[in-house]
Amino acid sequence: MDDTSCDTARRHVLGLGCERGTPVAEVQALAIAALDMAGIGAEELAAIASIDSRRQEAAILAVARHFAVPAVFFDAPRLERETPRLKNPSAIVFARVGCHGVAESAALAAIGDDAELVLGKIKSAHATAAVARGGLQKA
């Protein structure tokens, strides 16, 4: 997220996870709901983040296009390092993908050490979303 972190208005990242082939409309509706629940406007969004196994997932890429922000992806070991900061770690997710959460972990990882979750994981039938915010003190 270093490219976008210099823009202080855009200091939030939307983390997304989904099952393969989840409809675009479902993930987009969940993304919009997450931002609304977090009180975040689209103009405050810096990126969409997820696990690297979803790098080609149409729904996640469509959400990034919808908000005109980059999509960034992390491998499971990188996401697993965020486990101590998760609000909703999941053993089921760990068994499936190798980390205790995708949406929360990806949002936190995209921002870095000064990130905080402003919205823990919310779910739809086949997807999850979370929102993290970066600190105000950027060099």
With a pLDDT cut of 70, the percent of the chain lying above it is: 91
Q: Which domains does the chain have, with CATH numbers?
A: 12-118 (3.30.420.180)
Distances (CA, A) of 65 to 21, 91, 92: 17, 31, 30
Burial class of residue 122 in the structure, from the number of CB atoms within 10 Å of its CB (0-12 exposed, 13-18 middle, 19+ buried): middle
Residue reference for tokens 């490219």: 3
Per-residue pLDDT of 33-65, as tens digits, reads 999 999 999 999 999 999 999 999 999 999 999
Dihedrals φ, ψ of 31, to 5°? -60, -45
Strand (E) positions, 39-126?
45-51, 71-74, 116-123
Higher pLDDT, 10 or 20: 20
How many Cα atoms sit within 13 Å of 43 on the Cβ side?
A: 1
Minimal CA–CA distance to 85: which of 124, 60, 112? 112
**9 pLDDT band (50/70/90 cuts)?**
confident
